[in-house]
Amino acid sequence: MATEEQVYAALRTVMDPELGRDLVSLGMVKEVHLQGGRAELLIELTTPACPLKGQIEADIQRALLPLGLEEVRVRFGGGVRAPQQYPIPGVKHVVAVASGKGGVGKSTVAANLALALKEEGARVGLLDADIYGPSQAKMFGLEGQKLKVDQDKRILPLEAHGVKVLSIANIVPPGQAMVWRGPILHGTIRQFLEDVAWGELDYLIVDLPPGTGDVQLSLAQLTKLSGGIVVTTPQAVALIDAERAADMFKKVQVPLLGVLENMSYFLCPSCGARTFLFGEGGGRRLAEKLRVRFLGEVPLEVAVREGGDEGMPILVRDPESPAAQAFRQAARELAAELSLTLFLPMA
Ligand SMILES: Nc1ncnc2c1ncn2[C@@H]1O[C@H](COP(=O)(O)OP(=O)(O)OP(=O)(O)O)[C@@H](O)[C@H]1O
């Protein structure tokens, strides 16, 4: 009959593929129950959205095989690991979504990544800091809704599809031109972070304006961002600007968690054929050049645009569509990269 010590010894041979250390020394083995010929394990991953769950489970099964157990059941648990210091009280991670060029789908990506992380069990907020072209209120069907404050006069974010959303569009009347001077803008970003009752969040996703301007700078100065991602299309002009956005993160010492390529190819709704409208492989090549994780390719699908216009992001509107699946995978990659930064401090 296998003993607990033997199980732990076997688990010491199972590596977290990304961290390169074994599950026991990483403190991931939370429970080992042995009864009869059965073992039940509780493994706490660095994030519930870990993309390598399947592989880790298979490795565990393989490592315990020589112990001759009848059955090994693996449960995965644990929440999102937090940094030593929270960037905002109650908020574990602030992640910025940037793009060099406008119109590459940054807001669509921010919305769907937020929803995908929520789907994995995380508590998620979305801050629309794209003050020149806020689109999250529309994307989440919250247009025209007024914000309320709590008894401490803190702004209460709105909520849709299980994500807390705060957009400047719910503050400034629609269609009104916004001229933001540096100090006002800085103050507004500060308010978004400090005077909003975000509550307990694992991730606060921030949808930045395109380019490399004052909002980015203010955000980096006002809070400790866990990281940022850059959204691009495969097109050469977009890639040049994307590299600039990546460089901005470097300048303000924010870890670049990855590059996501959107509008990678058009997926024909009737025959499923792929047409590479903007070229092929540019996002991956950029990620390789920058030595960061490639978060994946999201196809251009009519339903993504329709969903965005109707207040139903694709993850909600058509969860099984190729774009939704690509967003889900990208969110897992992002969560995994983020938890890596907690173990391996920035070089
Ligand atoms: N994968 C996709 N498939 C189809 N349409 C998409 C996709 N991604 C984004 N879109 C559409 O492209 C348009 C621009 O997207 P979005 O507003 O997300 O871009 P953005 O980069 O945030 O723009 P801005 O620079 O104005 O902030 C929207 O109509 C959106 O619905």
Element spanning 91, H or E = strand 91-99
> What ipTM, to 2 d.p.?
0.98
Q: Which CATH superfamily is domain 91-343 in?
A: P-loop containing nucleotide triphosphate hydrolases (3.40.50.300)
Domain boundaries, given as residue ranges, for the chain: 4-77, 91-343
In the predicted model, residues of the chain with pLDDT beneath 70 are 173-180, 344-347
- Number of residues that this document lists for the chain: 347
**To the nearest 10°, the Cα dihedral for 150, 208, 314, 103?**
140
| Closest atom of ligand 1 to CA, residue 303 | 4
Query: Residue whose CA is closest, atom 25 of ligand 1?
Result: 102
The annotation places the binding site at 100-107
May I ask the CATH architecture of the domain 4-77? 2-Layer Sandwich (3.30)
Tokens representing 42 are 């509780």
Place of tokens 């039940």: 40
CA dihedral 318, 320, 323, 327 (to 10 degrees): 100
Angstrom distances, CA of residue 80 to CA of 45, 77, 107: 8, 10, 23
Q: Which atom of ligand 1 is nearest to the CA of 299?
A: 1
Q: What pLDDT shows up at residue 133?
A: 84
pLDDT for 51 equals: 85
Pocket of ligand 1 (CB under 6 A): 99, 102-108, 130, 133, 135, 210, 262-263, 298, 300-301, 304-305, 308, 323
Q: What is the pTM of this model?
A: 0.90
Residue ID of nearest Cα to ligand 1 atom 8: 105
Phi, psi of 165 (to 5 degrees): -125, 135
Q: Distance between CA atoms of 53 and 282, rounded to whole angstroms?
A: 29
Residues annotated in a binding site for ATP: 100-107
Q: DSSP E strands: which ranges in 142-290?
A: 148-149, 155-156, 158-160, 163-167, 201-207, 227-232, 256-267, 274-275
What's the confidence (pLDDT) of residue 342?
81
Rounded-to-integer distance, Cα 16 and Cα 37, Å: 26
